[in-house]
Amino acid sequence: MAKATAANKTNASELAFEIRESAIAGKGAFALRPIKKGERLIEYTGERIPHPVADERYDDDTMEEHHTFLFTVSSRTVIDASHGGNESRFINHSCDPNCESEIEGGRVYIFALRDIKQGEELAYDYAYERSGDETEKEEMQYRCRCGAANCRGSIMEPMADFLKRKRAIARKKAAARAEKAKKTTRKKSAAKKSSAKKSAVKKSPAKKSSAKKSAAPPKKKSSTKQSRAKKKSRR
Ligand SMILES: [Zn+2]
């Protein structure tokens, strides 16, 4: 993959932004010129690895603060920008972002969400997927100090988004169960018709869908989620 990584590297001189110290956190990306809404600024590059490998590489428990260069592309793939990543990995999170991330054909790009003035810091909403059982320590690790007027205090997704997703998953499960029950009923009545014998259809529990990192990234704009695994500080 070394070849692909090298090809993905963006020439720094072509970038619409530069990397320097940020008031938000560590380093940040700052517009070198006015940027138009919708402009594609950079691809989020790095080594493409499966989730288990990312989980092995980065240990939640040993970190004081979140520092991640991981980006979830799909239920299978994570991009680790600490291996072959480019300047995109320095773009900070904001609860009032001027950029957004989008996945196109399995690749991740950062776009301008609105017109951006020269000198403005670029940021997008990381919105890490919650699992719903975050500990106080984790809440601390993911606390946000972006300084936006509407800062939600966390770089994790808003609780409302999590609850919405949870409800959607529950609905899907219920629908699957209902579908299964319908089929069972149909089978039963078919069996009754074809013979006098009573058919005992075994009930099998609905297949459990794993809650962890199972959802493919939603198609919706601005809802691209970053992996919650993270990198130790090196900023
Ligand atoms: Zn914030």
pLDDT at 104 over 50: yes
Instruction: Reply yes or no on domain 2-159 having CATH 3.40.50.20.
Output: no
CA dihedral 140, 18, 15, 4 (to 10 degrees): -50
Ligand 1 centroid–CA 150 distance in Å is 7
> How far does residue 196's CA lie from ligand 1's centre (Å)?
67
State which of 89-103, 162-176, 214-228 shows the largest mean pLDDT.
89-103
pTM above 0.75, yes or no: no
Distances (CA, A) of 62 to 57, 58, 67, 90, 137: 12, 9, 12, 22, 11
Residue 110 has pLDDT above 60, yes or no: yes
DSSP character at residue 220: S
Across 79-95, average pLDDT: 94
Has residue 203 got a pLDDT over 50? no
Strand order in the sheet with 70-72: 47-50, 77-80, 70-72
Q: How confident is the model at residue 61 (pLDDT cuts 50, 70, 90)?
A: low
Tell me how far the alpha carbon of residue 125 lies from the centroid of ligand 1, in angstroms: 9
Distance, in Å, from the CA atom of 6 to the CA atom of 18, rounded to the nearest integer, reads 20
Q: What confidence tens digit (pLDDT) does each residue in 114-126 have?
A: 999 999 999 999 9
Whether the predicted pLDDT of 112 surpasses 60: yes
Percent of the chain with pLDDT over 70: 70
DSSP letters, 2-43, are HHHHHHHPPPGGG-SEEEEE-SSSSEEEEESS-B-TT-EEEE
Average pLDDT over residues 75-98: 94
CA of residue 133 to ligand 1 center, whole Å: 21
pLDDT bucket at 62, cuts 50 / 70 / 90: low
SS3 of residue 136 by DSSP: helix
CA 127 to ligand 1 centroid distance, Å = 10
Mean pLDDT of 80-88: 94
